[in-house]
Amino acid sequence: MKLPKIYEPGLYENDIYALWERAEAFKPSGKGDPYTIVMPPPNANGNLHIGHELTAALEDIAARYHRLKGDNTLLLPGADHAGFETQSVYEKHLAKEGKSRFDFSREELYRQIWDFVALNRDNFEMQMRRMGVSCDWSRFTFTLDDKIVKTAYHTFKKMWDEGRIYRGERLVNFCTFHGTAFADIEVVYKEEKSKLWYLKYPLTDGSGEIIVATTRPETMFGDTAVAVHPNDQTYAKYIGKTVKLPLTKREIPVIADDFVDPQFGTGAVKITPAHDQNDYDAGQRHDLPKITVIHTDGTLNDEVPEAYRGMPVLEARERVAKDLKEQGILEKTEDYAHNVGHCYKCNTVIQPLLREQWFVDMQPLARDAIKVLKADKIKFYPDAKKDQLVTYLEGLRDWNISRQIAWGIPIPAFQNVDDPDDWIYDERVGEELITIGDKTYHRDPDVFDTWFSSSSWPYATLGYPDSDDFKTFYPTGLMETGGEILYPWVSRMVMLGLYVTGDIPFKEVYIHGYVMAEDGSKMSKSVGNVVDPLPVIEQYGSDALRMGIISGRSPAVNRGYDTRKVEEARNFANKLWNVARFIEDIVGDEFSGKGSCKPQTAADHWMLRELQRTDELISSHLDEYRFSEAYDVLYHFVWDDFADWYIEASKSAPNKALLAYALENILKLAHPFAPFVTETIWQTLAWEGNSILAKASWPEKSRYDDGEADIFNEIKAIVMETRFITTALRVQGATLYYTNVSFLTDNAELITRLARLNAVTEVTDGTGLYLTSTKYRSWLDIDADTARGYQKQLGEKRDAQEQVIKRLEGRLANKSYVDNAPKKVVDETKQQLEDAKGQLEALTKEYERFGTE
Partner RNA sequence: GGGUGAUUAGCUCAGUUGGCUAGAGCAUCUCGUUUACACCGAGAGGGUCGGGGGUUCGAGUCCCUCAUCACCCACCA
Give the Cα separation of 764 and 754 in Å (integer).
24
| 189 is an interface residue for RNA by CB under 7 A | yes
Least Å distance, CB 311 to RNA, is 19
For RNA, which stretch binds (CB under 7 A), given 85-93, 136-144, 737-745, 822-830? Answer: 822-830
| 200 is an interface residue for RNA by CB under 7 A | no
Q: Which of 442, 653, 627 is CA-nearest to residue 549?
A: 627
| 482 is an interface residue for RNA by CB under 7 A | no
| 836 is an interface residue for RNA by CB under 7 A | yes
Give the Cα separation of 738 and 736 in Å (integer).
7
Q: How many CA atoms lie within 13 A of 114 on its CB side?
A: 12
Contact track, RNA, 299-338, x by CB under 7 A: ---------------------------------------x
Answer yes or no: are the C-beta atoms of 461 and 38 closer than 8 Å: yes
For RNA, which stretch binds (CB under 7 A), given 81-89, 213-221, 406-414, 840-848? Answer: 213-221
For RNA, which stretch binds (CB under 7 A), given 299-307, 598-606, 670-678, 720-728? Answer: 720-728
Least Å distance, CB 252 to RNA, is 14
Least Å distance, CB 296 to RNA, is 21
| 559 is an interface residue for RNA by CB under 7 A | yes
| 290 is an interface residue for RNA by CB under 7 A | no
Between 323 and 809, name the residue whose CB sits nearer to RNA. Answer: 809
Give the Cα separation of 752 and 749 in Å (integer).
5
| 843 is an interface residue for RNA by CB under 7 A | no
Exactly one of 348, 467, 578, 739 binds RNA (CB under 7 A); that residue is 578
Which three-class secondary structure string do you get for 542-590?
A: HHHHHHHHHCCCCCCCCEECCHHHHHHHHHHHHHHHHHHHHHHHHHCCC
| 427 is an interface residue for RNA by CB under 7 A | no
| 362 is an interface residue for RNA by CB under 7 A | no
Exactly one of 14, 571, 652, 683 binds RNA (CB under 7 A); that residue is 571
Positions 621 through 660 that interact with RNA (CB under 7 A): 621, 624, 626, 628-629, 632, 635-636, 639, 643-644, 647-648, 651
Length of the chain equals 853
| 739 is an interface residue for RNA by CB under 7 A | no
Helix (H) or strand (E) holding 848: helix 823-849
Least Å distance, CB 272 to RNA, is 8
Between 422 and 749, name the residue whose CB sits nearer to RNA. Answer: 749
3-class secondary-structure state, position 767? coil
| 560 is an interface residue for RNA by CB under 7 A | yes
Between 417 and 728, name the residue whose CB sits nearer to RNA. Answer: 728
Least Å distance, CB 6 to RNA, is 4
| 728 is an interface residue for RNA by CB under 7 A | yes
Give the Cα separation of 297 and 184 in Å (integer).
20
Exactly one of 136, 145, 184, 705 binds RNA (CB under 7 A); that residue is 184
Contact track, RNA, 484-523, x by CB under 7 A: x--x--------------------------------x-x-
Give the Cα separation of 468 and 50 in Å (integer).
35
For RNA, which stretch binds (CB under 7 A), given 244-252, 389-397, 419-427, 672-680? Answer: 389-397
Positions 101 through 160 that interact with RNA (CB under 7 A): none
| 820 is an interface residue for RNA by CB under 7 A | yes
For RNA, which stretch binds (CB under 7 A), given 31-39, 276-284, 324-332, 842-850? Answer: 276-284
Number of C-beta neighbours around residue 787 at 10 A = 21
Give the Cα separation of 597 and 551 in Å (integer).
34
Between 310 and 513, name the residue whose CB sits nearer to RNA. Answer: 513
Helix (H) or strand (E) holding 793: helix 791-813
Between 418 and 834, name the residue whose CB sits nearer to RNA. Answer: 834
Exactly one of 81, 270, 443, 546 binds RNA (CB under 7 A); that residue is 270
Report the amino acid identity of residue 530: V
Q: Over the range 274-302, which residues count as b (16 or more CB within 10 Å of their CB) and which as e?
A: bbbebbbebbeebebebbbbbbbebbbbe
| 565 is an interface residue for RNA by CB under 7 A | yes
Q: What is the DSSP letter of 693?
A: G
Exactly one of 811, 830, 837, 849 binds RNA (CB under 7 A); that residue is 811
Exactly one of 34, 267, 477, 675 binds RNA (CB under 7 A); that residue is 267
Q: Over the range 756-776, which residues count as b (16 or more CB within 10 Å of their CB) and which as e?
A: ebeebbbeeebebbbbbbbeb
For RNA, which stretch binds (CB under 7 A), given 10-18, 99-107, 474-482, 819-827? Answer: 819-827
3-class secondary-structure state, position 271? strand
Exactly one of 2, 5, 96, 249 binds RNA (CB under 7 A); that residue is 5
Contact track, RNA, 369-388, x by CB under 7 A: ---------------x---x
Between 78 and 541, name the residue whose CB sits nearer to RNA. Answer: 541
Between 22 and 193, name the residue whose CB sits nearer to RNA. Answer: 193
| 579 is an interface residue for RNA by CB under 7 A | yes
β-pairing verdict for 447-448 and 559-560: unpaired
| Beta-bridge partner residues of 256 | 228
| 825 is an interface residue for RNA by CB under 7 A | yes
Task: Report residue 561 CA to chain centroid gap.
Answer: 14
* Backbone phi and psi for residue 510, each to the nearest 5 degrees, phi listed first: -115, 125
Exactly one of 307, 557, 653, 784 binds RNA (CB under 7 A); that residue is 557
Q: Quick one: CA torsion of 810, 816, 820, 821, rounded to 10 degrees?
A: -10
Query: Total residues at the site for RNA (CB under 7 A)?
Result: 96
Between 762 and 835, name the residue whose CB sits nearer to RNA. Answer: 835
Least Å distance, CB 304 to RNA, is 18
For RNA, which stretch binds (CB under 7 A), given 19-27, 209-217, 301-309, 498-506? Answer: 209-217
Q: Quick one: CA torsion of 483, 489, 491, 495, rounded to 10 degrees?
A: -160
Report the amino acid identity of residue 616: E
Answer yes or no: are the C-beta atoms of 334 and 322 closer than 8 Å: no
Give the Cα separation of 642 and 606 in Å (integer).
10
Give the Cα separation of 321 and 433 in Å (integer).
47
Exactly one of 37, 38, 573, 622 binds RNA (CB under 7 A); that residue is 573
Least Å distance, CB 800 to RNA, is 6
For RNA, which stretch binds (CB under 7 A), given 22-30, 134-142, 285-293, 560-568? Answer: 560-568
Q: What is the DSSP letter of 89?
A: H
Peptide bond into 382 cis (omega under 30): yes
Between 184 and 315, name the residue whose CB sits nearer to RNA. Answer: 184
Between 310 and 838, name the residue whose CB sits nearer to RNA. Answer: 838
Q: What DSSP string describes 15-54?
A: HHHHHHHHTTTTS--S-SSEEEEEPPPPBTTS---HHHHH
Number of C-beta neighbours around residue 166 at 10 A = 15
| Cα distance from N-terminal residue to C-terminal residue, the chain | 62
Positions 516 through 555 that interact with RNA (CB under 7 A): 520, 522, 552-554
Q: What DSSP string describes 109-142?
A: HHHHHHHHHHHHHHHHHHHHHHTT----GGG-EE
Positions 583 through 612 that interact with RNA (CB under 7 A): 585
For RNA, which stretch binds (CB under 7 A), given 25-33, 266-274, 311-319, 652-660? Answer: 266-274
Least Å distance, CB 770 to RNA, is 18
